Structure 1
Amino acid sequence: MRQFNFHEHPFEILDVLLVAILIYWVYLLLKETRAMRILYGIAVLAIIMLLGRLLQLQTLNFILTYVLAGLVVAIPVVFQPELRAALERLGRTRFVGEFGKLKKYEIANIVLEIISAVDFLSKNRQGAIIVLTRQTGLRDIIQTGVRLDAQVTRQLLINIFAPKTPLHDGAVIISGDKVIAANCWLPLPEQEFNFDLGTRHRAAAGITSETDAIVIVVSEETGKISLAVGGNLTIDLTSAQIKEFLINLLQHKIEGVAT
């Protein structure tokens, strides 16, 4: 029996490795999404079709061929939000965002300004939604609001979210030490979440499921503070907890938040 010579077939080996990497990459991008469950189903159908061909089950093969073809067309339509988020993660650069350019003490000072404002807004039950960008740019969302490019301060954030002011309804976008824009409108997610909360909370979970942004939400009804990261929403946190999470997320680049 002839042995396989790795030196004679370098491109075949490269081909297999690239396919394996691609399959693993797709798995990482789509895991824990609805699309992943559908991919499992497609894999089962593909195995059944392969067995059908080996056993020459022509009718079964005919049906499964058209079923799989239909699924290939339907999946990009049905799972557009999940696929868009997966492609965004795939295309996300590894370069640091504006927070990554700051020293740790500078990040700590910015977090203190934000927390001080959030604490005031919470005690006075003034609704707010604050978005902190990381690697993913939010230019399309910034363009929906009013450009500020102002230093992050407690008083500025309190003034923005003061009732009946022109900018209080939308979201504030913070990048590094700058309040980039206010009165920005976040798109509401198409997918359903396992919680029954208001528009601000749904928008926060939606934008963080598609980007690496961090979002702080203050409820206008209850004054409770929530934090959204990676599509996960943690509700009713204290100012101290928010501060700890932000320091960890911005300084140490932790991807998630405990719920």
Structure 2
Amino acid sequence: MPELPWIFTRLDLRALVDILSVALIFYWLLWVAQGTRAAQLIRGLVILLGAVIGAANLFQLVALNWLLSVTLPALIVAIPIVFQPELRRALERLGHTGAWLRSPLSTSNQEAELSHAIEEITRASAQLARLRYGALIVIERETGLQDYADRGIPLDATLTRQLLINVFFPNSPLHDGAVIVRGNRIIAAGCVLPLSDNVAIESQLGTRHRAGIGITEESDAVAVIVSEETGQISVAANGRLYRNLDPERLRRILRSLLRLERQATGMRLRERARQRPRLAEGGQGEQVAEDSARTPTQVG
């Protein structure tokens, strides 16, 4: 307690910025790890280190304290290795600055392509669910999926629901793999994706769902999964699975994840803001015309 006044005397603007920077870094790392297997690893690591350090200091264990002083620096090397997928995804998110540099024309073209792709994927998923055809459709975003596309069969075809249904027709050569979509084109089919080894995934989910979750853990892609056994539609994003979706909910989730709903809402609000002055001017003109029309009648 006597040290508290001394601490406050050293607390200046530079120290506050320093503390805030460290806090933001730790907050960002924990936010990235939230909902992934890294959360369990971090929790287990903190519990283990806390128990070992507490026991070593409480019982004055000299050998254990020496072992901790020697091994703790090795964590600086071990942590990037253990949390490599999460750190890579965090750096990819940090590097997604391409949207800031796009021109309005290219942005509008991409929005039109994504809207068309979402509509075709939604209709295809609804029909695949009715027919009980298993499907895995991966929508590429900022992180490139060319490595996975090279492992499949290149198509480079316009995205249509008829083509998707034909690809996932049972016993067809490509129905077991994943389809990768870039913009409004199918770049490859029959692609092999990494499987998620998250222990929190329910045991009744099969390989198709684990592959859909796995690709969203490795990248920022969005995966649409149709179960062959139940016909249920699911969406995987950021390592999480949204299940039991109907076509309308699927459409809304895809538009939200691909940020089309937010952009469309902003465009509607901007359009209303532009129209308000015109409506106000038109309303005043109509009111003046009505007054001028009524004046002779009232005078007479």
Q: Deviations over 1:19-42 (max 9, x none)?
A: 555444433333442232134336
The residue identity in structure 2 corresponding to 1:40 is V
The residue identity in structure 2 corresponding to 1:89 is A
Query: Is 1:26 paired with 2:29?
Result: yes
Show the counterpart of 1:41: 47
Distance 1:5 1:125, change over 3 A: closer
Residues in 1 aligned to 2:156 and 2:262: alpha-carbon distance in whole angstroms: 24
The one of 111, 124, 141 aligned to 2:131? 124
Residues in 2 aligned to 1:176 and 1:38: alpha-carbon distance in whole angstroms: 41
- Paired residue total: 246
The residue identity in structure 2 corresponding to 1:62 is W
Structural RMSD (CA): 3.6
SS in 1 for 2:193: coil
Q: Deviations over 1:165-216 (max 9, x none)?
A: 2211100000111111100011112332331211101111121122211111
Shift of 1:164: 2.0
The residue identity in structure 1 corresponding to 2:234 is S
Shift of 1:159: 1.2
Query: Is 1:249 paired with 2:252?
Result: no
Shift of 1:15: 6.9
Distance 1:253 1:35, change over 3 A: farther
Structure 1, gaps ≥5 residues long:
255-259
Distance 1:17 1:240, change over 3 A: closer
Residues in 2 aligned to 1:164 and 1:57: alpha-carbon distance in whole angstroms: 65
Matches within 5 A, 1:80-229: 80=82, 82-92=83-93, 93-94=95-96, 95-96=98-99, 102-195=109-202, 196-229=204-237
Larger CA Rg, structure 1 vs 2: 2
Q: Is the 8 A contact 2:138 2:224 kept in 1?
A: yes
Q: Is the 8 A contact 2:89 2:219 kept in 1?
A: yes
Structure 2, gaps ≥5 residues long:
1-5, 264-300
SS in 2 for 1:222: coil
Q: Is the 8 A contact 2:116 2:184 kept in 1?
A: no
| TM, length-normalised to structure 1 | 0.77
Residues in 2 aligned to 1:248 and 1:24: alpha-carbon distance in whole angstroms: 25
Distance 1:125 1:85, change over 3 A: same
Q: Is the 8 A contact 1:45 1:64 kept in 2?
A: no
Identity percentage of aligned residues: 38
Show the counterpart of 1:232: 240
Shift of 1:105: 4.3
The residue identity in structure 1 corresponding to 2:246 is T
Q: Is the 8 A contact 1:122 1:218 kept in 2?
A: yes
Shift of 1:102: 3.6
